[in-house]
């Protein structure tokens, strides 16, 4: 079992299956713009924006044993490039231009990898933010060519913040990817908006904007390897933070874990199940209620806080990984007190099958 960070997440980046003779997984972490020859960096070592290319110098690698156990090897030197943004990125939106954190990656049948990222465009801003300018996130996709796992080139835009319908205060951000049961369609599940506490109202159009603006998850599909993406549409009855996707078997079902469903006035921890593996029709499972039925110690149960909209019982940031026999393990946290975050949080793992 990979170590839990106190919020139920076991790693920051997306795990990608390696293609070498030994079974491995790897994850790409922080990226930054390269420094061209002769460029004069800023005092903190960065070149001036706009930035069209980014790279990482290390990856996190995991070994996969014959029995399926995953063992952390550590951070190893490896240059990974993300090239060719059509619009220059800049520092804003709370990130340094481009972020792979809380993004997704899938390997296609061809061997190519599609990796999405959160970007802050150079020339797009949000004039409706209270008090003035605030940049919004956009989502983009990069793709490798088969056999070249560490050179990603821009392949398409999933959602551009310049064309948000409906309007979003922060822009689309946390998301995940999966290859669907047809073996060719990629699905993205996306946190479309919202931050901090649930507030008292659901998503609304702007100014004056007095809510934190949570909304349902949105989804977008690509059937050409991440070049063109369908217009993102709401996943009604599902939301709101850090969706995690896992296809249990090649023919389905498809799982999505997440929660903090502030768009409907509750917190909560949920698993949604799509039985045909194509991501359109979902059934909800209240994981907090299942947890409470399974846990013997009353002090470890969620109780009423499981679905509370104020003092949450959980961050609702999960990890969702496949295990042997066609099952999966979902990892999540329970707060003892929200006011002290991870220091007052316990991590749990629940094995499930469908």
Determine, yes or no, domain membership for 331. no
Residue 115 in this model has a pLDDT that exceeds 50: yes
Secondary-structure breakdown of the chain: helix, strand, coil percentages, each rounded to the nearest 5: 10, 40, 55
Residue 84 in this model has a pLDDT that exceeds 90: yes
Determine, yes or no, domain membership for 292. yes
What lies within 8 Å, CB to CB, of 137 at 6+ separation is 93, 118, 119, 120, 161, 170, 171, 172, 173
Question: What is the predicted pLDDT for the residue at 343?
Answer: 67
Determine, yes or no, domain membership for 34. yes
Per the prediction, the chain carries an average pLDDT of 84
Residue 267 in this model has a pLDDT that exceeds 90: no
pTM, whole model, 2 decimals? 0.90
Range 285-301 average pLDDT: 93
Would you call 339 helix, strand, or coil by DSSP? helix
Question: What is the predicted pLDDT for the residue at 231?
Answer: 95
Local confidence band at 200 (pLDDT 50, 70, 90 cut-offs): very low
Residue 204 in this model has a pLDDT that exceeds 70: no
Determine, yes or no, domain membership for 322. no
Range 249-264 average pLDDT: 90
Of 130-134, 156-160, 168-172, 218-222, give the lowest mean pLDDT range: 130-134
Determine, yes or no, domain membership for 349. no
Determine, yes or no, domain membership for 103. yes
Q: What is the CATH number of the domain that holds 200?
A: 2.120.10
Instruction: Indicate the DSSP class of residue 230.
Output: P
Q: Which of 187-201, 239-253, 322-336 has the highest mean pLDDT?
A: 239-253
Residue 147 in this model has a pLDDT that exceeds 70: yes
Question: What is the predicted pLDDT for the residue at 303?
Answer: 87
Determine, yes or no, domain membership for 190. yes
Percent of the chain at pLDDT above 90? 48
Domain carrying residue 124: 16-308
Local confidence band at 41 (pLDDT 50, 70, 90 cut-offs): low
Pairing between strand 70-83 and 151-159? parallel
Looking at the structure of the chain, the number of domains it has is: 1
Q: Look at 194 and 27; give whichever has higher pLDDT.
A: 27
Question: What does the pLDDT look like over 305-331, one tens digit per residue?
Answer: 777 666 678 889 999 988 877 789 999
Determine, yes or no, domain membership for 258. yes
E strands along 20-108, which residues?
Answer: 24-28, 54-64, 70-83, 91-92, 95-96, 98-99, 105-107
């Amino acid at each position: 079992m990979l170590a839990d960070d106190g919020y139920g997440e076991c790693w920051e980046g997306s795990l990608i299956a390696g293609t070498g003779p030994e079974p491995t997984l790897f994850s790409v972490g922080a990226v930054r713009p390269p420094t061209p020859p002769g460029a004069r960096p800023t005092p903190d070592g960065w070149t001036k924006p706009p930035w069209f290319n980014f790279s990482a110098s290390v990856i996190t690698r995991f070994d996969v044993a014959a029995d399926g156990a995953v063992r952390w090897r550590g951070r190893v030197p490896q240059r990974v490039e993300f090239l060719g943004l059509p619009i220059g990125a800049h520092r804003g939106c709370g990130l340094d231009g481009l972020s792979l954190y809380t993004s997704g990656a899938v390997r296609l049948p061809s061997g190519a990898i599609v990796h999405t990222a959160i970007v802050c465009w150079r020339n797009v801003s949000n004039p409706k933010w209270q008090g003035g300018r605030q940049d919004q996130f956009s989502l983009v996709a990069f793709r490798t060519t088969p056999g070249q796992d560490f050179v990603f080139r821009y392949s398409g835009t999933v959602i551009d913040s310049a064309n948000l319908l409906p309007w979003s205060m922060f822009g689309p951000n946390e998301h995940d990817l999966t290859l669907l049961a047809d073996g060719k369609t990629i699905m993205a599940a996306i946190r479309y908006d919202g931050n901090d506490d649930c507030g008292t109202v659901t998503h609304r159009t702007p100014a004056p904007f007095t809510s934190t603006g949570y909304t349902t998850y949105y989804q977008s599909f690509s059937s050409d390897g991440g070049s063109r993406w369908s217009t993102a549409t709401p996943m009604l009855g599902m939301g709101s933070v850090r969706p995690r996707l896992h296809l249990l078997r090649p023919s389905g079902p498809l799982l999505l874990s997440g929660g903090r469903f502030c768009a409907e006035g509750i917190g909560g921890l949920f698993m949604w199940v799509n039985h045909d593996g194509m991501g359109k029709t979902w059934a909800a499972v209240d994981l907090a209620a299942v947890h409470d039925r399974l846990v013997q110690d009353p002090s470890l149960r969620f109780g009423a806080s499981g679905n509370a909209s104020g003092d949450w019982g959980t961050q609702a940031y999960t990890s969702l990984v496949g295990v042997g026999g066609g099952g999966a393990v979902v990892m999540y946290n329970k707060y003892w007190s929200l006011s002290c975050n991870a220091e007052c949080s316990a991590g749990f793992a629940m094995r499930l099958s469908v």
